[in-house]
Structure 1
C-alpha cells in the first residue's frame, strides 16, 4: 500500500467544494484490490452551480425506435446501473440504419484508390541547413525591447512581503550552498544535498504564478509564510554551521588577550569589499553586583585596534546572565569569495557618546554631504563632494500617495490614471539624530511620517567610505486602495534609463513616443535602475522592490499598494525594506552599479567562531580567497556539488556588462577549472577552458566543472604561521 499526497494551490479564480478540499487535505490510499464504484442517478440540479441560468425548454420530435435501435438502447442501459437523465427526463438513443454503397465502401477500405482521395505527391527535399554565419536581411523587422505585458503592473508590488521573502530566500540559499561546499572541501563536513534541494524546491513552489505576484487568496499566504520561515531557518542554520567548521580549521597567531575570541567575516561576492559588520559579544556572568561591566575591542591579527562604531548592550547583566553587546566595526578588504579574521576581546576603556549629527540634520562623509529638511523629513540636498555637484533638483525621498481603485483585477492592476488622484502629502511627526557610541563610522537621522492611518519610520544612514545614502524603512501599513511611491527629482536629464534584469540589463526610453512605449509607465527591475546622461548619473537601488517609474529627470520606486481582492487584507501590517541613492560619475558600467546592487542585498557575514572542539586539522590561513573569477564583469551565480559526482563541483557565473570577460580562475584551496557544461551539468561542444582561464561572451551564463584534490586542500598552510 502506498500513500499519495495531493498538493493544491488555489488561485483567485479557483472554487473548491468541500468534497474536493477533503480529497486534497487527506492522503489517499492506492491499492491493487478490486474497487467497487456505485453510480447514483445524477441530474444537473444536483451539481454545484457557480452561476445562474434561465430555465431551458427542450422540444423534441417524436422518435420511432426500430428493432435495431432498441437493441442498441438495451445494450447502453446494460452498461450503467441506472438510466442517465437530465432533469429526471430519461434519455433515448436513436440510430438510423446506414446504407453504404460500393463507392463509399471503397473509400473506407482503400482511400488511395478513391476519386475523392487521389494519391499524395512525394514530399520535396528538405532545404539545406542555414549557414550560421549568414546575416539576417536588414529588411526583416526586429524588436529591441522587452516583451512588455500592458497589464498586471500591480504584481510588481502587491503583497510586498512575498517579494521580500523570495529575495531573501534566494540570497540565503546561495550563501548556504556556497559555504557548505567549502565546509565539505576543507573540513570534510557532509554536503547537505537533501536539505538544500528541499529548500530550493520550496522556494520554487512559492514562485507559483499567484503567490509571488501577490494575487492568491488569503489562506495561500498563510502556508507560504510558514514555508518561507522554514527556508530561512534551514539556510541560516546550514550557513552558520559551515562557517563555524571552516573557521575552526584556521591556524591563528597567539591572541592579544586571554579572553579573545575569533571573529570571522565572510564575503559571498566575487570582488573584494569593505563594510561595517556587527557581532554579538558576551561577557562571562558577573561574580557580584560590584563587578565592572566590560567594554569590547576589535583588533586585526597583529593586535592593531580597529575603530568601533558601537558597543550597545542588549540586556542587563546579572550574576547568572552574561552581558550581551552588539559590537559594530569596519571590516576592510575582505577577499573575493573569502574571509578575514579579527580578534574580539574585553577591555576597560570608558564609553563616550559621540554626537553624530548637528542640529541642522546634516550627514557627511568623504563622498557625500546630505541635508534633511527638518520640516518635512525629505532630502533638501545631496551634494556629491567628489564631483562638486548637487544631485537633487527638488525634495528627495518624498513619499507620494495616490488613490488606486476601480480595477476589477484589484491585486493585479494599478489604476492607469492614478496620477490624477494624489492624496495629501506625508506628515512629519518626529525627526531626531541618532547618537553613536565609540566611533563615527556611521551617521544616522531618524524620521517618522504618516500617510493616512499608516506610519513610516525611516533611518537615513551614511557610512564612512560609502558612496551611497541608505534609507532603512519600517512601515505599519493600514491603507486600502492606496499607492505609495518615493520620488527623487534629479539635476540631470537623460533620454534612456537602464534597469537590471535577471543576468543582464535593459534600456527603456524616458520620452515615450509610440503606443507601446507609452504603455510602459510602470516597469519591472531587479536590484537597481539608473538614470545617466553619459557624464553623470544616479542609481536607485533596493533590497526587495520591483516596480520603477522613471522620467527624464526623475527616479521613482513603488513601495506599497492596498488591494482588497482576492485578499481583503493584502499588505496590511509591518514591512521592512531598504533602498539607497547612489550618485556617480559616468554611466552605470563605470559606476559598477551591478556590484553595489549585490552588496546592498548580500551584506558581509560576521560570526564569532568558538574554539575547535572537534579536533579539526588547522590547515587554513586566517585570511583567504576561496574562489576568485578574476574579472570585474563576472558575477557568481552558484558554487555547488555536482549532481553526478560528489568529487566534482559546479561553478556558474554570468557576464554583467555586455562585454567579453576573461575568466581567470584562482582558489587558495587549489581548485582546478574543468570543462564547460550546460545548465543540466552535461558536457557541451562550446569552447573549452585553457588551463585556469576561459572566455565568457557578453551576457552569457557560463557553467564549468571544478575539481579538487583533497591532498592538495589539506596541505594548504600559511607559510608565515607554519614557520
Structure 2
C-alpha cells in the first residue's frame, strides 16, 4: 500500500515583502496557532525549522515557548532542518554555511536536545554542489528542496542521490508540489498529488500556508482527516516528519538516480539583483574570517582576550543577511535598506575589534623616529604575500611650505619601491598621503612600514596620451594596450602570448525584464555600448568646470604601478574605468565606477578572450564547477576562469556573482535595474502605476576585479589563494607603537598553495581554537601546517576538495582532527 508522509509546515520568510518586525510577529501568531492545533487535532504533527524564529518566540512569548518545548518532548511538534535560517545556497561561502548550521545546531541541542539529520532549504534559488560535503560532515544524510523544478532533470523521480566534489553523498527529495498549500485547499492539492505520484511507493507531501507563515488551518485539518478516512483502503496517509520519510525511503530499496552537479540554475536574476547587498555581504564575510585570524593571533601570541561575543554578534548579522530573499535581492527596497544596515552593524563591530587586535599585535615594536610616519600591515594568511599594497598616512606635521612631500618606505627594515598617489581627501594643504608599495608581507603576522618623506617642487603630473593611437604598458612579463580612441583594451599579453581580442572590458547595457528574479539572455535583447565621452563631456562628468581634458589619461604613475582612466557614457548614465597595471607581475586590476540612471536594463563588463573554446569554471563552496556556456547566466563565488589546454584567463571579483560566456566572450554582470519584488503574473499590476516607480541600482556603484592570464597548471592550482588575498586583504593602519612588550613571530604557515585556510577562530564548545582548511585545486595533496610558537608541525593529507577541521589546544600546541561543527 502506498504511504504518504504529510509534512505540515509554515514556510515563514523573516523578510521579503515585509520587514523583519513583521516576520517576528507572524512567527508568534503562526507558532501560537500550531501549538493550539496539536491539542485540538489528535495525531496532528507540526514541523518547523529556523532557530531565529524560535528565538523570537522565546524572547517575546516565553509561555508559548515553554509549551512548544513540551510538545517537542511529546512528539507532536518536530524540530525540522535545524539551521539558523534558510539561506541562499549559492553565494555564501562554504564557511558561512557551516556557521549557519553550527548556530542552529547549538540552539536546538541546548534548547530542545534535538539534532535533525535531514536538512531543509525549500525556497532557496538553487544549491551549490559544495553543499554536499558540508551536509555530509555536519551529520546530515538527506535534504529537502523545491528548486530547481523537475524540468531541470532528465528523470521524473522526486528522489535522487546528490554527489559532492569529494565523493560524499546525500539523498535529496525534490518536492514538486512546492512548500505551500492554499488556505482551505490542502486536501484538494493532496488529491492531485496522489494522482501525479502513483508510481511512488512512499511519498512526502508538504502542506501548510506559507511565505508569510500561517501553517495549518482548522478547515484544512478537518478536510484532511475526512480524506484520510475515506482513502484508508487505498493509501496509508499519516501526519509525519521528514526523517521518518527518508527512513522508509531507504528501507524501500528504491534505486535512485544520481546527480553530480550543482542544483542550478534557478532565478538567474538573483545572482545580481541588489548588488550593494551582495558586495557588502562579501565584505562582511571577508572582515569576519580575516578578523578571526587576527584575533586568534592576538590571543594566542600576545594574551589579548578573544572577542568571542562581539564576533558572534557580527556572524549573526552575516547569517541573517544571507536569508534567501535578502542576499538574492528579491525583497523590497525597505528590506534592502534594512539588510545593508544589518551588514553595516556587523562591519562596525569588526572594525572596532580589528583595531584593538591590530594594536595588540604591534607589541615589541619600537617607537617611530622623529620626522617619519609608520603604518602596520597585518597579513592574516599562512603564507607570504608579494604585491602592491595601498594605504593612507599623515605627514609628521602639516606642510605649509611651497613644496610637495613624496613618500619613501621600508618594509620590515628593507627599502621597498614606493609610490605616492592622490589621497582620498581634497584638503587645501599637503598633509595626508596615499602610499602604494611593492613588498613581500610575512605570513600571519604584523609587518611594519616606515615612511620617510622627501621634498619635491610639486605634486607629480603625467604626460597626456590622447595624441597617440594607443597607450602601451609593458613591464617585461605583461604587455597591455589601451586604445585611446575607445578607452578599451585591445591587447593583453603574458610572456608574449595574447589572451584577449580588441575591444575588451567594454561596458554594455541590455534590455532586461522588470522581474526581480528573472534575467533575459544577452542575445534575446538589444545591446547598447557605453562609448568614450568627448573631452567636454568627460571633463564635465569629472567636475572640471574650468578646463577640458582627454577622456583617456594616465592618472597615476611611478615605481609601483600605472593607472589609466577612461570615461564612458550612454543615455542617462556615465562610468569611469581604471586599469591598474603593476610594474611587476602578470596580473592587473580593473576598477569600474558606474553612475546608473536606467530602468529595466542590465549592465555587463564584456571581455573577449583570444580563444573561443574551452571550459568556463567558477569557484563554488569549497570547490570549483564547470559552468554552462552559450550566453546563459551562471553563478560563482570569488572567481571565474576560461580555460583550455594551453591558456587560462581568470577574473577575481569582490562580490559580483553572475556572469555568462559565449564563444569566449565573458560577460560579468554588474547590475540590473529591475523592480523591487516585481514578479510576472498580472502585467497590468506590475510597475504599471501612473507614477514614478523606483528601480534597483539607481546611482553610484563601484566594482573591482583582478585579471590574470597564463598557463593553466600553476595559475589554476593557486587561484583560490589569489582570490582569498584579493578579498581578505591585509589590514593596514597608521600607528606609533609604545615600544613596550615582546615581539612574536607568525602564528601559522601552510606550505601548499592549493590548501586554503578557511578559518582560524576560538572554539565555541570548549577551550581551544578551530582551524579549518580545504584542498582547492581538485587534486590529492599534502601540506605541512606549522605553528611556530609551539614548534608544532602537523602534516595533512587531502583528497580532492576535501575539508578538514582541526582543534588546537592553545596551551600545549597539540593539534587533532575535529568535527566540522564545534
The answer on 1:522 being equivalent to 2:633 is yes
Matched with 2:798 is 696
For residue 262 of structure 2, the aligned residue among 146, 151, 156 is 146
Per the TM alignment, residue 307 of structure 1 is displaced from its structure 2 partner at its CA by 2.4
Secondary structure of the residue that 1:665 maps to in structure 2? strand
Matched with 2:294 is 179
Distance 2:405 2:606 in 1: 45
Q: Which moved more, 1:570-579 or 1:633-642?
A: 570-579
The answer on 1:592 being equivalent to 2:718 is yes
For structure 1, the residue ranges without an aligned partner over 5 or more in a row are 1-6, 33-49, 52-125, 131-138, 512-519, 673-690, 713-723
The answer on 1:327 being equivalent to 2:435 is yes
For residue 316 of structure 2, the aligned residue among 183, 201, 206 is 201
Please list the CA deviations of residues 369-423 of structure 1 after superposition, one character each: whole Å capped at 9, or x if unmatched.
2122222222122222x1x222223421122221112x6xx1001135x523213
Secondary structure of the residue that 1:175 maps to in structure 2? helix
1:426–1:668 CA distance, 2 compared to 1 (3 A): same
Please list the CA deviations of residues 313-367 of structure 1 after superposition, one character each: whole Å capped at 9, or x if unmatched.
645477xxx922222222x221333343232234445566263774433333232
The answer on 1:657 being equivalent to 2:777 is yes
Distance 2:270 2:422 in 1: 40
Distance 1:544 1:22 in 2: 32
| Matched pairs, number | 559
The answer on 1:265 being equivalent to 2:374 is no
Matched with 1:629 is 750
1:20–1:529 CA distance, 2 compared to 1 (3 A): closer
1:494–1:510 CA contact under 8 A, matched in 2: no
1:668–1:339 CA distance, 2 compared to 1 (3 A): farther
Please list the CA deviations of residues 44-93 of structure 1 after superposition, one character each: whole Å capped at 9, or x if unmatched.
xxxxxx99xxxxxxxxxxxxxxxxxxxxxxxxxxxxxxxxxxxxxxxxxx
Please list the CA deviations of residues 442-487 of structure 1 after superposition, one character each: whole Å capped at 9, or x if unmatched.
1111111123212111111111223223210111122111122222
Matched with 2:618 is 499
For residue 452 of structure 2, the aligned residue among 327, 345, 350 is 345
Per the TM alignment, residue 578 of structure 1 is displaced from its structure 2 partner at its CA by 0.8
Distance 1:311 1:176 in 2: 28
Matched with 1:459 is 578
Matched with 1:280 is 392
Which aligned runs of 4 or more in structure 1 are off by greater than 6 angstroms?
A: 13-27, 29-32
For residue 250 of structure 1, the aligned residue among 331, 340, 364 is 364
Per the TM alignment, residue 162 of structure 1 is displaced from its structure 2 partner at its CA by 0.8
Per the TM alignment, residue 586 of structure 1 is displaced from its structure 2 partner at its CA by 2.6
The answer on 1:404 being equivalent to 2:512 is yes
Per the TM alignment, residue 636 of structure 1 is displaced from its structure 2 partner at its CA by 0.6
Q: For the pair shown, which has the larger CA radius of gyration, 1 or 2?
A: 1
1:657–1:286 CA distance, 2 compared to 1 (3 A): closer
Matched with 1:606 is 732
Secondary structure of the residue that 2:527 maps to in structure 1? coil
Structure 1-normalised TM-score? 0.70
For residue 582 of structure 1, the aligned residue among 701, 708, 713 is 708
1:589–1:224 CA distance, 2 compared to 1 (3 A): same
Distance 1:142 1:18 in 2: 37
1:389–1:200 CA distance, 2 compared to 1 (3 A): same
Secondary structure of the residue that 2:528 maps to in structure 1? coil
1:694–1:353 CA distance, 2 compared to 1 (3 A): same
Per the TM alignment, residue 591 of structure 1 is displaced from its structure 2 partner at its CA by 5.9
The answer on 1:395 being equivalent to 2:503 is yes
Matched with 2:566 is 447
1:652–1:292 CA distance, 2 compared to 1 (3 A): same
Per the TM alignment, residue 145 of structure 1 is displaced from its structure 2 partner at its CA by 2.4
Distance 1:229 1:461 in 2: 28
Per the TM alignment, residue 282 of structure 1 is displaced from its structure 2 partner at its CA by 2.1
Q: Which moved more, 1:660-669 or 1:452-461?
A: 660-669
For structure 2, the residue ranges without an aligned partner over 5 or more in a row are 1-11, 30-55, 65-181, 184-246, 539-550, 679-693, 815-822
Please state which structure has a larger fraction of its residues in helix: 2
Distance 2:554 2:295 in 1: 38
Please list the CA deviations of residues 691-716 of structure 1 after superposition, one character each: whole Å capped at 9, or x if unmatched.
6212222211111111233899xxxx
Distance 1:146 1:157 in 2: 18
1:600–1:466 CA distance, 2 compared to 1 (3 A): farther
Matched with 1:425 is 529
> What aligned pairs does 1:8-87 form with structure 2 within 5 A after superposition?
9-12=14-17
Matched with 1:372 is 482
Distance 1:432 1:362 in 2: 13
Distance 1:229 1:458 in 2: 27
The answer on 1:551 being equivalent to 2:662 is yes
For residue 652 of structure 2, the aligned residue among 541, 545, 550 is 541
Per the TM alignment, residue 173 of structure 1 is displaced from its structure 2 partner at its CA by 0.8
Per the TM alignment, residue 229 of structure 1 is displaced from its structure 2 partner at its CA by 1.3
Please list the CA deviations of residues 198-231 of structure 1 after superposition, one character each: whole Å capped at 9, or x if unmatched.
1000110111111000000121122111111111
Please list the CA deviations of residues 180-199 of structure 1 after superposition, one character each: whole Å capped at 9, or x if unmatched.
11111222221111000010
Matched with 1:490 is 609
